[in-house]
Structure 1
């Protein structure tokens, strides 16, 4: 039985998630240290975004006309099939091998041709059709003609027609219209940031031809988002204000430039610049990004006079291996360089570390009609990161006697989410994240459990380690633009992959609560929630013991 790529994606993601849960260790953890540049960098990592629902392009294939049964019958002795090139004649003949020796009226003869039409369309040729042309059927010899459906004219139109036309080069006049190739070309074009696409297939100038016209326009040239929330680490600033700006097709067709800024209540700030652009018209894209972060520890750690900074520069390529209406799979290769500096003036301590890594990733999304046809979305990313850590002299001396994290390392990460439609207007959301490491890691590569993006009953900075897993679940009930939800979070972390000190080395945290999300006037988004601890004890990364822990955010898109 043939298995579609989307079902392979869903099955692979779920089985890998289950496997990572099984191999993760069990036990409990010692108290955590003050945040440093590496930990701060990890806490600012953006959450994997939910894919935007793609436009529902309708390219109507010719309808299969019905014929009323009845009338004269003819005995069929042989069948000849012509006009086919995409599918071998042997396959088509096998579809009607039972016909010779039987009598058929006109409707019966058409059902024989319909078998061939159905076979073509299941094979990915949506505009193909087989018909019974006018003929005398001398001696019972039946001829079935196949019109495979070929491109006549293929053209882009609209304000961006000139720039968009090369993206349709894979669809050539005279070529059989294949559904997979057509979908890929149209969706690769529509995936370009800010680009709106409207494809229309009309009759061509010759029988069996279709003219493809693709309207292309700029949907949005500029945009951005301003936000405030309390999602930060208490010691580097729980209150945060952020601003993101982006522009599309600024230097070349299909590119995007981004600017991000973040400021916290403890004067930590982040600035980041990003740029991505297509390389040719195959879907290959280049991206580059630079981010700079500065922090100063406050609250109970303010007496340390501790400051630091983190810089990360990255550049890479991505390529869509599969792209269709149901979703897709994109491979990515990136180079990252991180530079981390921490200062503690009270002890006259100044340390430096850097790392180089080459993450390899597979990003995927798949839409389906599982669970009685209600439908759902599975999306996520699997990545493998080989890298090398370079510690400065001060840190090197400590590291050699403790964690031995300096040098080469490898880690495997999975981040997969499922959004499932349920009866009674309910939605179930589940997200699973996991990390495996081959050795003890630097804080800039570690895995954390706490925070609004983790176990929400614990503060950001709680439960960090070299390996671990985390499960977030939400039951949602949308009521117009307002969505109340209940949630349960569970995670486990292994502090050191290779323990170097006595004591507990793993910890399990869980929590539950409820919240409310609302979209106001299509531009404002509000999210508030309360979370209570159910397992794991008091927080060890924060001196406060807030029960429940409250989270709130407000964002405005423009």
Structure 2
């Protein structure tokens, strides 16, 4: 029944798809790479064979292929080409078959990131069953820049200009540039790549757009589950970039529940981070406060009051494992101070005080794959420190001060085509021993500490999963995108009880359909109809309900 810690825990180990990210990692500033033209234009179609004809006579011609070589390639060898053409060796083929083989090699170049490379069949006599392919490997021959809300940045400019020395150019050569930009507070970068012919040379042009936002914000109101239990909640966060001119970041967030019976509940806090070296290491510190004073007279309580204070700090190391895998690891030490007091109408009193120091090792990674979709993975190990700095007093002293638990979450977006997409997400917690009240797993409700809200599960360990199907279409300049969606969600928690061998489980499921709209000026809205498929174990009924929300943001989606 101590529910108000769900929001705090989710800030460390869960990035929900539809909620505001009050404490985003640096890699949440997504970088975009846009190809201005389809990949198959990077060939030399003006000199490629378009018909199945002999190159000398112009007549239809076939031959038996015995050997094939490639010229001008630093990526593929003759052995690679022979392996690819294995089924063609000893067979009768036409020049169209050779064209298909050259196109396959061009596609392999592009899959490996060499987008300005191509393979073609050069002019040659078709005799003796030996064929020669020609590779054209090109590099960046021109760069241009756009600086938005900032002067020219020489370090970034030099790195981009140095790409002209890379031959052949690979899309992964942009990785160090993206890493440099991500270390700069408030900066974002996007690239446009296209092929050009200039001054007798053929190659690629790279257009870099670098922008800086001094302040980014995201504010909104919603009554969706699980954040507000079907009642309105107003939430927002503001991020100040380079406030002191040292690539620092200051994040401030807050949430109030104006229409809920928990009419005095508020949650607010801040985080400050600053880089300490040039390899992506940051020092950060944070503090937040969750307090409530609900009106629960209808449930027989004359007084109910609670407060949770959290403060701490640590180090964060940004990581770039591949051109499409970015992330960070965090080492955190925090202290929590929790107090709760309730008095019933009959005079029964409940008084709890807990203080605990803990360290946490967490990781966050984002992986982008053009074929298989985007994936976000978070993991964490949390360990309480027992000693003079940690204690629990009062009427309820269950849970270990030296608690140990593992947390993990994952989210994957698979785009079937330009309109259809499937989104799957999971999160869970496994407690190695019985955790304190403020370290338990919460699912299906807001972080309230008093009176079990309808449809919330709390346990020592738990798991939650969700599958969502989306159909999105572009509409016009004002309504940029409209998405119809349907989801199925379920969650389960485990409670060990007073005896280690006693274990109880609770399960909660639901489904829903809705529509989201992304509009001009960073405005977004949703309308959803939620349908429960299983009642809560304590027989509190969950009703079908319409949920809605509105958000305004200048952050990248």
By the TM > 0.5 criterion, same fold?
A: yes
Contact 1:167 1:189 in 2 (8 A): no
Task: Give me the whole-angstrom Cα distance separating, in 2, the residues matched to 1:167 and 1:521.
Answer: 34
Checking the alignment, whether the CA contact within 8 Å between 1:235 and 1:297 is kept in structure 2 is: no
Q: Aligned-pair distance for 1:39?
A: 5.4
* 1:295 CA drift (Å): 0.7
Q: State the Cα distance separating 1:509 from its structure 2 match.
A: 1.6
**Counterparts of 1:533 and 1:523, CA distance in 2:** 32
Q: 1:48 to 1:115 in 2, by over 3 A?
A: closer
Structure 1 residues without counterparts, runs of 5 or longer: 1-32, 371-376
2:44 alignment partner in structure 1? 63
In the TM superposition, residue 355 of structure 1 has moved relative to its aligned partner by 3.0
Q: Aligned match of 1:387 in 348, 372, 383?
A: 383
| Aligned mates of 2:229, 2:100 — CA distance in 1 | 72
Tell me the distance in 2 between the aligned counterparts of 1:422 and 1:118.
Answer: 19
Are the counterparts in 2 of residues 287 and 317 from structure 1 also a CA contact under 8 Å? no
2:408 is the counterpart of 1:413: yes
Q: Is the 8 A contact 2:526 2:549 kept in 1?
A: yes
1:222 matched to 2:221? no
| Pairs within 5 Å for 1:85-484 | 85-88=74-77, 90-91=79-80, 120-121=109-110, 123-130=112-119, 146-152=135-141, 158=147, 159-168=151-160, 171=163, 173-182=165-174, 184=175, 193-201=186-194, 210=203, 212-218=205-211, 220-230=213-223, 239-248=232-241, 256-265=249-258, 266-275=263-272, 284=280, 286=282, 288-300=284-296, 303-315=302-314, 316-324=316-324, 328=325, 330-344=327-341, 349=351, 351-366=353-368, 377-390=373-386, 395-396=391-392, 403-418=398-413, 429-451=423-445, 459=453, 462-474=456-468
Aligned residue number for residue 21 of structure 2: none
Aligned residues: 504
- Hey, what's the Cα distance between the residues in 2 that align with 1:237 and 1:513? 14
The question of whether the paired residues in 2 share the 8 Å contact of 1:236 and 1:264 is answered with: no
TM-score (norm 1): 0.69
CA contact (8 A) 1:415 1:431 kept: yes
State the Cα distance separating 1:493 from its structure 2 match. 0.6
Question: 1:252 touches 1:277 (CA, 8 Å); kept in 2?
Answer: no
Q: What displacement does 1:447 show?
A: 1.4
CA distance in 1, matches of 2:119, 2:415: 39
- Structure 1 residue 507: deviation in Å? 0.8
The alignment yields a C-alpha RMSD, in angstroms, of 5.2
For 1:431 and 1:462, the matched residues in 2 are separated by 19
Change (3 A) 1:102 1:279: farther
2:16 equivalent in structure 1: 48
Q: Displacement, 1:172?
A: 5.7
Q: Any stretches of 5+ residues in structure 2 without a counterpart?
A: 19-27, 344-348
Distance in 2 (CA, whole Å) between partners of 1:111 and 1:233 is 53
Question: Who is 1:535 aligned against?
Answer: 534
Please tell me whether the aligned partners of residues 491 and 509 of structure 1 are also in contact (alpha carbons under 8 angstroms).
yes
- Render the CA deviation track for 1:140-176: whole Å, top value 9, x for unaligned: 9987664432455667564535242255487361532
Distance 1:414 1:90, change over 3 A: same
Alignment partners' CA distance in 2, 1:390 and 1:196:
46
CA distance in 1, matches of 2:6, 2:517: 31
The CA deviation at 1:527 is: 3.5
For residues 267-286 of structure 1, give each alpha carbon's deviation from its aligned partner in whole angstroms, at most 9, with x where no partner exists: 3333333356778887x463
- Cα offset for 1:439? 1.6
Distance (whole Å) between structure 1 residues aligned to residue 214 and residue 85 of structure 2: 55
Check whether the contact 1:42–1:445 (CA below 8 A) recurs between aligned residues.
yes
**1:72 corresponds to:** 56
Structure 1's 243 and 100: CA in aligned 2 closer, same or farther, altered over 3 A?
closer
Instruction: Specify the SS of the correspondent of 1:164.
Output: helix
CA distance in 1, matches of 2:272, 2:317: 12
